[in-house]
A = this chain, B = another copy of it.
Amino acid sequence: MTAAGPRTRSERKHAAIVAAATSVFLDRGYHGASMDEVARVAAVSKQTVYKHFASKKTLFEQVMRATSEPMHAALRAAVDGVAGSGDVEADLRAYGQALLREVLTPPVVRLRHIIVAEADRFPDLAASWHRQGPGRTVDDLTDRFAALTAAGRLSCPQPRVAAEHFLWLLIAEPLVKSMFVPPPARPVRVEARVDAALRVFLAGYGG
């Protein structure tokens, strides 16, 4: 097996452009970013940037994918763990900690902010971010909570409402604040926040 990652000259340039664009967009916002600066940071010509990405919007969509895909992969793995061990509380605690950490990763916070700022111009991108983010998380949790309720481990007669409650008890406070105020350098108190949310959730929805 050879190592994964870009191997041809074109693939290497493609990766360099995405890395440069990520840095430029997160630093300057959509409006302030330019294809010229992306080309300079990637050390390629502007023509090369346009050969790989037909427009600034296309390049930004690739930055969205590259920045959010690690989070989505981590959250898919984490939700797979819910109900995996037979200890629902422990599973939800582990999932909640993963969720808080992933959703508040600084590049994700920054990208989310840029997407909200550009929602008038690119309603499709903003809607897609919401669908794949909170929308997907609520869908995944709805399935789990319905199954756990069927198994008598939770009591969620409206599993979608329970999924929304679980998500927002955990994350709404720091998430909403991060829209208005740059997040603090010190991380949110993940364990305490998850424990407090879980206590209320299980009081309402325990089996």
A residues neighboring B (CB under 8 Å): 29, 31, 113, 115-120, 123, 126-127, 129-130, 134, 158, 161, 164-165, 167-169, 172-173, 175-177, 179-182, 196-197, 199-201, 203-205
Is B200's CB under 8 angstroms from A116's CB? no
Residues of B within 8 A of A173 (CB): 164, 168
Q: Give, as a whole number of angstroms, the nearest-CB distance from A9 to chain B.
A: 36
Residues of B within 8 A of A164 (CB): 172-173
Q: How far apart sit A196 and B126, CA to CA, in the bound complex (Å)? A: 28
A interface majority secondary structure: helix
Is B177's CB under 8 angstroms from A134's CB? yes
Known: A134-B177, A203-B204. A158 touches B119 (CB 8 A): no
Q: List 24 A-B contacts (CB under 8 A).
A: A29-B120, A113-B116, A113-B119, A115-B180, A116-B117, A119-B179, A119-B180, A123-B181, A126-B180, A127-B180, A130-B176, A130-B181, A134-B176, A158-B196, A164-B173, A165-B200, A168-B169, A168-B173, A175-B176, A179-B179, A199-B204, A200-B200, A200-B201, A200-B203
**Closest 6 pairs between A and B when the two form their complex, measured CB to CB:** A200-B204, A168-B172, A172-B172, A130-B180, A117-B117, A203-B204
